[in-house]
Amino acid sequence: MKNYLLFLLFVLLGSPVYSSDSTDVILVKLNDALKNKAHYVRLKEERILNFKKIKSDDLTKEQEYNYNKTLYTEYQKFNSDSAIFYVKKNLKIATELQDDELLNLANLQLVTLYSSSGKYRESEAILKSIDKKTLSKSLLQTYYVAYREFFEHYAANSYDIKYIQKIREYRDSLVSVLDPNTLNYQVNKIQQIMSQKKYDIAEKQLLQLFDNMEEDNPQYAMITYLLGSIYEARHQLEPRKKFYALSSTSDLKNANKDNASLQELALVFYEIGDVDMAYKLTQSAIEDALYCNVQFRTLLMSEVYSIINTVYLEKEAKRKTELQLYLLCISLLSAFLIVAVIYVYKQMKKVSRIRGELYETSQKLAELNKDITETNNQLQERNAQLSESNHIKEEYIAHFFSLCSTYINKLENYRIILNKKATAKQFDEIYKMLKSTTLVDNELEELYKNFDIIFLNLYPTFVKDFNALLIREEQIVLKQGELLNTELRIFALIRLGITDSVKIAAFLRYSLSTIYNYRTRARNKAAVSRNDFEEMVMKIGLISLKV
């Protein structure tokens, strides 16, 4: 158990600690940086332009030298031609000042710029013109850097093992004069260890630097590039891709046109068969090298580009063939679709015509249904009227026989009284009885009372329904004990179907003009149309009879 724990601890301590982001997330960020490449370049140009604006005309020569040196630093890995321009200005200023320190610094800066742009003879001539023994410690560092980069650039153009040895010699010399407490020393020391193929030690030191370094640090791209180089030497594809992608993203965001990570990452994608991504990265790397005028990068990329471009063109040709095949299939499908559309269109027209016919038929059926409904309603109304008539007839026949019997009895009683009076020779009494109208008046009053009772028995809501047809102010209010008044009796007779004013006048014992006036006055008080008033009176009670 103890041995197992020790082994596990060893594995954990010995395993590299990578970025917290997964490779997929890092590649998404890289693609985003590639997409916004022009934006980062514009930001760099704006920063340089803003710095140029602060220059004043009253700078001293030393201040102007420092001003130009700042612009050289900005342009060094962005545009070598502009960087050369400002270094040459500093050469002139240093000559005017007769300051060997400033002159040597400018010359050493020019060496790196010349060698990167392919001017190896000019670079070598400048290097040979500088006496190493006269240089200060800080310039000596720059001197070794210039020599190391000179051979790095030359080796890219004409590979030879002796140039690699020179690179190592000058790196060793540089490490010997650098301050061990600086990051520059640590990076160069790690490169020295890597040249000795001590990758485990180099990896451990680089990961320590990486874990404590922010992405905006100028050395971030270099640290991640070196880590990618270690994993390339070990043939570890996934971490190699990851750290080259981190380095490439940093270079893109910093608008660093002199970079190696894009080229290396392009080779990674070529190896895994992602030719599209490899081609995109190669294109970007060549654009940067041409923009910055870094000839040695262009030379390094030319061989890689030709291989990737050939494979890419073959793939594009294959895609083109497939596309032509797809276009042919699409054309055939389109033709089939057109035929299908025409067929569907004809079917739709046919369906539309059938729908139109069905609509017309449904309209006719609706009209017939409406006619049937209206006929039904009329039949129901007629049935209701017949039912009402039958009901009225039954009621009136019963009352008629009752009244007839009553009046026969009354006539018999009246005959007996007259007979008694005649037997008793009471002729004055007989004459007086015959002359009196009291009997007739009483009988009429009894007749109207019976009529009112019978009618309201047939139509109990007649008074309320009749008033509903009148305006509120003109509605009829009956006296206490009164069932119907004259006006209501007139319209009660109309409701029973007796519409002739002559008959109404004879029944109620009024003149014809009086009946006419009553009817006209009622129409004028109607809350409904005057023309429809009596027709609506005749419909009172129909609903109740239907129910």
Q: How confident is the model over 381-405, as a mean pLDDT? A: 62
pLDDT digits (tens, 9 = 90+) for 275-284: 888 888 888 8
Tell me the C-alpha to C-alpha distance, in Å, between residue 276 and each of 114, 257, 308, 309, 383.
Answer: 34, 22, 9, 10, 92
Confidence of residue 27 (pLDDT cuts 50, 70, 90): very high
d(CA 265, CA 254): 18
Confidence of residue 246 (pLDDT cuts 50, 70, 90): very high
Q: Write the CB contacts of 148 (distance below 8 Å, at least 6 apart in sequence).
A: 167, 170, 171, 174
pLDDT digits (tens, 9 = 90+) for 92-125: 999 999 999 999 999 999 988 888 888 888 988 9
What HEC string does 154-170 produce? Answer: HHHHCCCHHHHHHHHHH
User: 216 φ, ψ to 5°?
Assistant: -85, 0
Token pair 């680089």: residue:
206
Confidence of residue 367 (pLDDT cuts 50, 70, 90): confident
Confidence of residue 437 (pLDDT cuts 50, 70, 90): low
pLDDT at 66: 92
pLDDT at 31: 93
- State the CB neighbour count (10 A cutoff) for residue 536: 15
Q: Write the CB contacts of 100 (distance below 8 Å, at least 6 apart in sequence).
A: 134
Confidence of residue 90 (pLDDT cuts 50, 70, 90): very high
Residue 271 tokens read as 């190896």
**Residue (of 224, 214, 227, 132) closest to 173 by Cα position:** 132
Q: How confident is the model over 156-179, as a mean pLDDT? A: 84
Mean pLDDT score of the chain:
83
For residue 525, the 8-state DSSP code is T
* Identity of residue 100: D
Confidence of residue 296 (pLDDT cuts 50, 70, 90): low
Q: Write the CB contacts of 176 (distance below 8 Å, at least 6 apart in sequence).
A: none
CA pseudo-torsion sign 491, 495, 500, 505: negative
Q: Is the pTM of this model over 0.85?
A: no
CA pseudo-torsion sign 368, 370, 371, 372: positive
- State the CB neighbour count (10 A cutoff) for residue 511: 9
pLDDT at 390: 64
d(CA 208, CA 529): 105
pLDDT digits (tens, 9 = 90+) for 303-353: 666 677 676 666 666 767 777 788 888 888 888 889 888 888 888 888 888
Is the pLDDT assigned to residue 13 strictly greater than 50? Answer: no
Percent of the chain with pLDDT over 70: 85
Residue 349 tokens read as 């027209």
pLDDT digits (tens, 9 = 90+) for 352-363: 888 888 888 888
* Identity of residue 208: Q
pLDDT at 389: 60
- Helix, strand, coil in percent for the chain, rounding step 5: 80, 0, 20
